Chains A and B, each alone.
Chain A
Amino acid sequence: MSFTIARTVDEALAALTAGATPIAGGTDLVVGARHGKAALPANLVAIDRLDELKAVVETKEGVSIGALVSHHAIETHPLLASAYCALADGSALVGSPATRHVGTLGGNIMNASPAMDTGAPLTVMGAEVELRSTRGNRRMPIEQLWTGPGRTSAEPGELCVAIHLPKPGPKANSAYVRLEYRRAMEIAVVGAAAFVALADDGTIAALRVGLTAVAPTILTCNLVEQIGRPVAAAAEHAAQMAMEQCTPISDVRASVGYRRHTVGVMARRAVEAAARRAAGEKIAIPVNRAVGIGAAS
């Protein structure tokens, strides 16, 4: 049994190679252990002091977000909250202010819950995840990270160090909406993210849709056949596609039929909100409030 606090990424990688499990904010790991879902790993390495993984850096290609950037930092970051809106929408919905201050982007994606709120936003924006181990670095499209509920393709010893997002390009933006029964401390019943690029005539130039909590992992579709169509028609198509492609479960929160219906509604609203933003409209983060989802306060 051991607990170490890594001071450098190399120290963290050495601990992982020796078999330790990383703990960032612990909002999944510790809470899960307290629920009895999984015992707390005996050997832990705390990575929450690795300041080099806490930066949001604008690059020529887009933006690189360190794995330890918190949801609070994302929702309040000027660049992320204006050009990469779906991610800011997702982070702003996580838990409470405490969860958002402690919980990290890396922890959210590595925990690989099908209900994670940053997953669909990241896939529609074309994110790549960067993993590092003592053997080196690798980058892959983020969809390839998730292999099932709570499972990733990361090898033992690999640490998530960053998430890279390409520039959205001109007249393009994104949105993430989720169905929730209350306005805080909630888990997505279902959710949908959309990335929309508009042509000069206002028709669709690119459309990708990602779905939350309706399959073992985040579902993503690149709707190339919608190019050249009006936004309203593309949004309707996205809703149909979402209802057809999803494979939801029934549980205490919602039935299969309800999830199948509402994921269509979420997909349509996500496309419409992303298109409004792509056209230059400012809609406050999280867009959920602006489109009237969640009980009024």
Chain B
Amino acid sequence: MSTSERIAFTLKVNGTDYPVDVEQGRNLLSVIRSEIGLTGTKEGCDDCECGACMVLLDGQPVNSCSYLAVQAQGRAITTVEGVIDGDEMHPLQRNILEEGGVQCGFCTPGMILSAHALLARNSSPSEEEVRIGLSGNLCRCTGYAKIVAAVQRTATELHA
């Protein structure tokens, strides 16, 4: 398609409205990173397979590499920058660090958002349910066990 035709609209990211003016075919990922300047969301495979680009759209996980930016208007977009609470890390962030679930860190933002969405719909997931919840996120370093443990620990903490 022609990439020259531009379209102006507003995206609500982490509660802030950002006016953007981009090509109709632009993916949400590149607009979040290059136009809005929030680089926590990563580009991995750029093909909907690895989950590094995961963001939440009205609370639900979405691969932003393969979602049209223009289709996200009017929805609440949450990126990893938006899960932080002031200066306090979100319990998911703290636990993934403490459990050793971060090595290179590239998958971490996507993992946090998938886990966030999972815990919102299931406050005490089993290990199997955590693994299914994270099944769209690849990690090539940790072997997943520590990430799964961090999510389960967060669930327990949030319950206590």
Chain A residues in contact with chain B, CB under 8 A? Answer: 1, 3, 5, 23, 26-27, 30-31, 33-35, 39-42, 44, 46, 48-49, 72, 95-99, 101-102, 183-185, 297
**Closest approach, in angstroms, between the C-beta of A12 and any C-beta of chain B?**
14
CB distance B2 to A1 under 8 Å? yes
25 contacts between A and B (CB under 8 A): A1-B2, A3-B71, A5-B71, A5-B74, A26-B71, A30-B27, A30-B67, A33-B25, A34-B47, A34-B66, A40-B1, A40-B25, A42-B2, A46-B71, A72-B60, A95-B136, A96-B51, A96-B61, A96-B136, A96-B137, A97-B61, A97-B132, A99-B48, A102-B57, A102-B67
- Output the nearest chain A residue to B53 by Cβ-Cβ distance: A98
Q: How far does the alpha carbon of A30 sit from the alpha carbon of B133 in the complex, in Å?
A: 23
**Max chain B CB contacts within 10 Å: which of A33, A39, A40, A98?**
A98
Q: Report how many A-B pairs have Cβ atoms within 8 Å.
A: 90
Q: How far does the alpha carbon of A99 sit from the alpha carbon of B114 in the complex, in Å?
A: 12
Kindly state whether residue B5 has any CB partner on chain A within 8 Å: yes
State which residues 53-67 of B face A: CB under 8 Å.
54, 57, 60-63, 65-67
Q: For B63, what are the chain A residues with a Cβ–Cβ distance below 8 Å?
A: 98-99, 102
Pick from A33, A41, A49, A185: contact of B136, CB below 8 A: A185
Contact A5 to B73, CB < 8 A, known contacts A23-B68, A98-B114, A101-B62: yes
Q: How far does the alpha carbon of A34 sit from the alpha carbon of B24 in the complex, in Å?
A: 14
- Output the nearest chain B residue to A96 by Cβ-Cβ distance: B136
Chain B residues in contact with chain A, CB under 8 A? Answer: 1-2, 5, 7, 24-25, 27, 46-49, 51, 54, 57, 60-63, 65-68, 70-71, 73-74, 114, 117-118, 128, 131-133, 135-137
CB distance B1 to A39 under 8 Å? yes
Q: For B62, what are the chain A residues with a Cβ–Cβ distance below 8 Å?
A: 98, 101-102
